[in-house]
A and B are shown apart, each in its own frame.
Chain A
């Protein structure tokens, strides 16, 4: 089980790195989101996969920590998922807005905030 999860995380991370190194705007965003998914899997696997017993106690004496699944990592991963989902939505809207404003989704053409230098010595001027 641990090995399978390890393999899955590695594949997702590889895909994420490949996508986020692309020049295409949306591939970068999807790549970073995939990386977020891989990290969420790491958070999830931090609780180990020893058991499938849900962490529900009948009474205060019924403590058998070793035999129960770890509930904390589920809470952590849920928080991380919510946050990364909000960021994904924001990034997608930002990407769509950029694409309409610029008319292209090639990240190499993004020079508005950092104009290319036209002089070998002096830096370019900003517009205001």
Chain B
């Protein structure tokens, strides 16, 4: 039951919030309460898994590998926990009235639907079930994109639909072909069947199809165009939730499938994946350097950070896996914090474009400090959470002799610093183009400060005391890439 609770609670909350569409105030409290229960369930699951090891639920009382299996191990439990923390912070932030524009009534059911889809993706151990959760995530994100019904939102919705639908169909085709070859959908069953010498070559071909689908979903190098084209049309709190989580979940699935299920793949595949990761890092950070709109800068940084996570997959070792998990947790929190801060900058200074704002440092010093911590975390300045993530990743690349990959990862960090310094100089330091009075107009509410402060405190804790999380990541990913053959 505890394993199912991260799925059931958001689904139930989504249904309940639909019933109270006419009562926005009550709906908001119900939504917040649902997220709180979700957080409690996630914490309970994490504590249980940490104390007593993995928990498995085989639905419908069928024997494995025929039942749909839900699996909570250390890897998925901590990801569910991060999702829940982010959900609570985003909903607290959203409670400030500035973002409750028209259409916000449908927002809460869709947010909780998305949370259920993400928990499902994290917990499932069945390939077809994974597809169903991905479809649920796709349709809720589409709903969140178009809920505001402006021309920009509709166009973003169509672009998101067209490219992600293509990715989903590739994924489904790969699932069907893998099932046709191996006769299995369960992860454990697939892992056993993939060991079969006679099937290995066919499985490899289909695995490449599967990886392409997830590379599209995760916004990797040649297939990321949908992300910077759509994300910036979302309101800041929803942008933080989607931008923080959805693409990372794609990488999480890659990590699990490549590390646990389809372990013995040709070396060439990892070689290609590594260079795709490098290209993703570089192209994302260059796109961010070009843009001046806060949301678009940060959206391109998502792409760039996905490159780091893919590098962890390409390193294909337990060390790479643990670096990837640590980096993913840090990145979800840091990226969401930055999006939330961008929303507060918009509230305080009146625009998302850096050429139109400024002067936030003298008038909003607390906001400036929060941005500085989150920005430095994203760049990886020691001692911040991002530093440890990048340190583990680059260390593992150098240990494996992948000096080029590690070198690119370091160089991209410098360009990330350029972007953050640009936001700092233009948004906080230079005077506001419309004079001092332009800022005092509207202050970000206390709820937004509380939400962002929680996330920033978490980032600081991970940064100055990373030992427990690093240890946890190492044990959580110790089962990845345990090749049976020497």
Check if B229 sits within 8 Å of A128, measured CB to CB: no
Check if A42 sits within 8 Å of B146, measured CB to CB: no
Q: Is A90 an interface residue (CB 8 A)?
A: yes
Q: Is B422 an interface residue (CB 8 A)?
A: no
Assess A45 versus B155: contact at CB under 8 Å? Given A39-B169, A113-B230: no
Check if A79 sits within 8 Å of B159, measured CB to CB: no
Check if B352 sits within 8 Å of A98, measured CB to CB: no
The 0/1 profile, CB within 8 Å of B marked 1, for residues 77-90 of chain A is 00110010011001
Assess A32 versus B146: contact at CB under 8 Å? Given A42-B177, A113-B233, A114-B229: no
- Interchain pairs with CB closer than 8 A, number: 112
B107-166 interface (Cβ within 8 A of A): 128, 131-132, 135, 138-139, 142, 146, 149-159, 161-162, 165-166
Q: Which residues of A contact B155 (CB under 8 A)?
A: 98, 102, 110, 112-113
Residues of A within 8 A of B (CB-CB), count? 39
Q: Is A68 an interface residue (CB 8 A)?
A: no
- Per the bound structure, the CA–CA distance linking A73 and B179 in Å amounts to 9
Nearest to B150 among chain A residues (CB) is A112
Check if B158 sits within 8 Å of A98, measured CB to CB: yes
Check if A43 sits within 8 Å of B139, measured CB to CB: no
How many whole Å from B426's CB to the nearest CB in chain A? 13
Check if B176 sits within 8 Å of A46, measured CB to CB: yes
Check if A122 sits within 8 Å of B179, measured CB to CB: no
Assess A32 versus B166: contact at CB under 8 Å? Given A42-B173, A90-B139, A113-B232: yes
Assess A80 versus B172: contact at CB under 8 Å? Given A42-B177, A125-B293, A126-B352: yes
Check if B139 sits within 8 Å of A46, measured CB to CB: no
Assess A36 versus B352: contact at CB under 8 Å? Given A98-B158, A122-B292, A126-B293: no
Assess A112 versus B152: contact at CB under 8 Å? Given A35-B169, A123-B293, A126-B352: yes
Nearest to B294 among chain A residues (CB) is A126
Check if B355 sits within 8 Å of A125, measured CB to CB: yes
Contact of B172 among A28, A43, A48, A73 (CB under 8 A): A43
- Per the bound structure, the CA–CA distance linking A27 and B275 in Å amounts to 35
Interface size class of B (residues with CB under 8 A): 35 or more
Q: Which residues of B contact A36 (CB under 8 A)?
A: 165, 169
- Per the bound structure, the CA–CA distance linking A79 and B132 in Å amounts to 8
Among B135, B291, B296: residue with most chain A CB under 10 A: B135
How many whole Å from B288's CB to the nearest CB in chain A? 11
Q: Which residues of B contact A42 (CB under 8 A)?
A: 172-173, 176-177
* Chain A interface SS verdict (over half): helix
Q: Is B266 an interface residue (CB 8 A)?
A: no
Among A20, A39, A97: residue with most chain B CB under 10 A: A39
Check if B151 sits within 8 Å of A112, measured CB to CB: yes
Check if A95 sits within 8 Å of B165, measured CB to CB: no
Check if B159 sits within 8 Å of A110, measured CB to CB: yes
Q: Which residues of A contact B177 (CB under 8 A)?
A: 42, 46
Q: Is B396 an interface residue (CB 8 A)?
A: no
The 0/1 profile, CB within 8 Å of A marked 1, for residues 194-231 of chain B is 00000000000000000000000000000000000110
How many whole Å from B229's CB to the nearest CB in chain A? 6
Q: Which residues of A contact B142 (CB under 8 A)?
A: 90, 94
Q: Is B356 an interface residue (CB 8 A)?
A: yes
**CB within 8 Å of B: which residues of A?**
20, 25, 28, 32, 35-36, 39, 42-43, 45-48, 72-73, 76, 79-80, 83, 86-87, 90-91, 94-95, 97-98, 101-102, 107, 110, 112-114, 122-123, 125-126, 128
9 additional A-B pairs beyond A76-B128, A90-B142, beta carbons within 8 Å, are: A35-B166, A46-B177, A46-B179, A72-B179, A87-B161, A94-B161, A107-B158, A113-B156, A125-B353
Minimum-distance CB pairs A-B, first 5: A46-B180, A43-B176, A46-B176, A112-B151, A113-B152
Can you name 29 A-B residue pairings with CB atoms under 8 Å?
A20-B166, A25-B158, A39-B172, A39-B173, A42-B173, A43-B179, A45-B176, A48-B180, A72-B179, A76-B128, A83-B135, A87-B165, A90-B142, A91-B161, A94-B158, A95-B158, A102-B151, A102-B155, A112-B155, A113-B152, A113-B153, A113-B155, A113-B232, A122-B292, A123-B290, A123-B292, A125-B292, A125-B356, A126-B232
